[in-house]
Homo-oligomer: A and B are copies of this chain.
Amino acid sequence: MDAAERLVESTRALLWERGYTGTSPRAIQERAGAGQGSMYHHFRGKPDLAAAAIRRTADELRSRARDQLAAPGPALARIEAYLRRDRDVLLGCPVGRLTQDPDVLADPTLHAPVAETFDWLCAELSAVLAEGITAGELSPALDPDDTAATIVATLQGGYVLARAAGSRDPFDRAIQGALSLLKAATP
């Protein structure tokens, strides 16, 4: 792994742990084992480096969501597989956490990948839900877009509750509760 690569990975880790404001170029360099000169040679500065890191993190999230949502099988089973997938719950969502950083939201280059990720995820889930309704797995009374937003919100909020509690328990309960509600909503 060359220096530019290590700098991006280091930035990804620090943005996840400490957010944009809490991440200093100095900390990025130390973690990457690179010096000032190296960093400012490869990147114009902190926003440039953050843009590269956020784009990669967003791409990875999409790719991992596709693994479960685009798999073969019944709609509800794919949603359950996605919700129950192994996650580092106490670390929170590396994309969702960026929405708490006003400096990220204020910079269109940093904000755009975050907005696109959740737009894409809601649309993808909505399509799977619509499929489940057509197949007779889910009640036609459910609105796919609304329900998709509820599912993504349950995940994002589950992370918040887990970090507040210092335990993954509330996350697991929130997921279980959402799945129970979905399973109760059969035609």
Contacts and interface: CB of A to CB of B under 8 A. Distances in A.
B165 A161 contact: no
A122 interface: yes
A139 B180 CA distance: 11
A156 B150 contact: no
Interface of A: 17-19, 21-22, 92, 95-97, 99-103, 105, 111, 114-115, 117-119, 122, 139, 141-143, 145-158, 160-161, 163-166, 170-171, 173-174, 176-178, 180-182, 184-185
Number of this chain's copies in the complex:
2
Contacts of A101: 19, 22
Contact of A181 (B102, B147, B163): B147
A157 B149 CA distance: 9
Contacts of A147: 177, 180-181
Contact of A177 (B21, B115, B150, B157): B150
Contacts of A149: 158, 161, 170, 173-174, 177
B21 A163 contact: no
B122 A170 contact: yes
Contacts of A142: 177, 180-181, 184
Contact of A184 (B22, B111, B141): B141
Contacts of A180: 141-143, 146-147
